[in-house]
Each structure stands twice: as structure tokens, then as C-alpha cells.
Amino acid sequence: MTSQHQPQGENARNSRPNEIVVLVSGTGSLLQAIIDAQDENYRVVKVVADVLCQGIERAQAAGIAAEVVGMGQDRAEWNKRLVAAVDAAQPDIVVSAGFMKILGADFLSRFEGRTINTHPALLPSFKGAHGVRDALAYGVKVTGSTVHFVDAGVDTGRIIAQEPVAVRADDDEASLHERIKVVERQLIVKVLRSAQVSQESDKTISIQL
């Protein structure tokens, strides 16, 4: 599968690893998979969370810069602080890995075309926070994991890659989600290892899978 997000120029493989900032809110299991799979293609340079969480602890244990940007009362002001925290690391790619806040217009404007997210369903089906539960309730026989670009909608950005997961007759939400998570970890690593970033001032990702 091949997906391109309108590269702005010659987009050859970078001579250095792509530098990644990961956004987290919880246990950081997906973050850990990303950290463990670092190679010559990418490296995690910073982890940013909206709350103090295990994801921050995982980053610190790996010697990676970590910062908590708490929400507070003013969402617009929080978005600006989030932009500043991520921008300080000058990332090539931003990965939303279990980040539970909606990214605002300031963030999307600054990191447009290079912010990606994982979702535990085969988009465009079953968007939102309950993708696994909704797939089970609908009775589908196959669901899966999607990696997609982040835009202003909820799970509406251009799809980069997908991997199916069969639904078993005895599945509940927890068992199905655990199998999706296994695929999700493999898929995000595959995407990050394949990502090429244009060297324009406004960086844009081109994914070749």
C-alpha cells in the first residue's frame, strides 16, 4: 500500500533518522513499542503528555526528554503551550499514541501534514473513542488498526496504512482490543520506518509501504 501526502519537493530518504515527538496520555504501551523499535530510520527525541502518566516514566527510563503540559482552564492557551513544547524538539514527525485530547487549530496549523495517529478500527468505520466496542456491537467479522494523518476532524484524516484483525465468536471488548494493540504496534513501527520527510521549511511526510 502506498500513501502520499503531497510532498513539496524531492523526497529522498533522509541521511539521518527522522526525529519523532510522541504524544501520550496513559500507560504508554504503544510508545514503548515505538521506543524499542528505534533504528537508523527514526528516533524518539521527546515525549509530551497532558497528564503525569506512565508514558512519561517510560520516556524517562529510556533517557528521552519528557514534558507534561497540563490542560488548565483555557483550552486555547493550552494548545499554544502544547505547540511550544513540541516545537522545542523540532520534530520531523509527531505521533499521537493514545493521546486523549483533541489537537487544536494552532497545533494542526504548525504540524500539518506530519502528525499521525493510530486508531483501533478500520477507518472510516467506527471513528471515535469506542472503536473496538462499536465494531463488536455492529457485529463485524473483521476490524483492525489504522494509521492516519491527523486533521481537524475526529479520525477523519487521510489513511496511511491499515491491518485487519479477525473478530472471534468469543471476543469481548478487552480481548479484541488486546489483539488489535499487537497489530497496532507493528503497524506504527512499519510506518515510521518507511516515512520520508521533505526538507522544505514546511515539512511534509511521504509514506511508502
Tens digits of residue pLDDT in 119-150: 999 999 999 999 999 999 999 999 999 999 99
Signed CA dihedral, 36, 120, 112, 74: sign only: negative
Give me the pLDDT at residue 200, please. Answer: 61
Q: Using CA atoms, how far apart are residues 68 and 188, in angstroms rounded to an integer?
A: 23
- Number of other CB atoms surrounding residue 174 within 10 Å: 8
Question: Is 13 inside a domain boundary?
Answer: no
Structural domain including 64 reads: 18-208
Determine which one of 5, 119, 148, 177 is catalytic. Answer: 119
Q: Are strands 42-49 and 65-68 parallel, antiparallel or unpaired?
A: parallel
Q: Using CA atoms, how far apart are residues 17 and 30, in angstroms rounded to an integer?
A: 20
Give me the pLDDT at residue 199, please. Answer: 62
In the block, residue with C-alpha cell 479520525:
155
Question: Is 106 inside a domain boundary?
Answer: yes
What's 118's domain CATH number?
Answer: 3.40.50.170
Active-site residue flag, 177 = no
Question: Is 8 inside a domain boundary?
Answer: no
Question: Is 11 inside a domain boundary?
Answer: no
3-state secondary structure of 40: coil
What is the number of structural domains in the chain?
1
Give me the pLDDT at residue 114, please. Answer: 94
Give me the pLDDT at residue 205, please. Answer: 82
Indicate the pTM of the whole model: 0.90
Question: Is 98 inside a domain boundary?
Answer: yes
Question: Is 7 inside a domain boundary?
Answer: no
Give me the pLDDT at residue 202, please. Answer: 64
Question: Is 6 inside a domain boundary?
Answer: no
- Using the 8-state DSSP alphabet, how is residue 39 labeled? B
Question: Average pLDDT for consecutive 10-residue bins of the chain (209 residues)?
Answer: 38 74 98 98 98 98 98 92 98 96 94 95 97 98 98 95 98 98 98 86 72
Give me the pLDDT at residue 198, please. Answer: 77
Give me the pLDDT at residue 89, please. Answer: 98
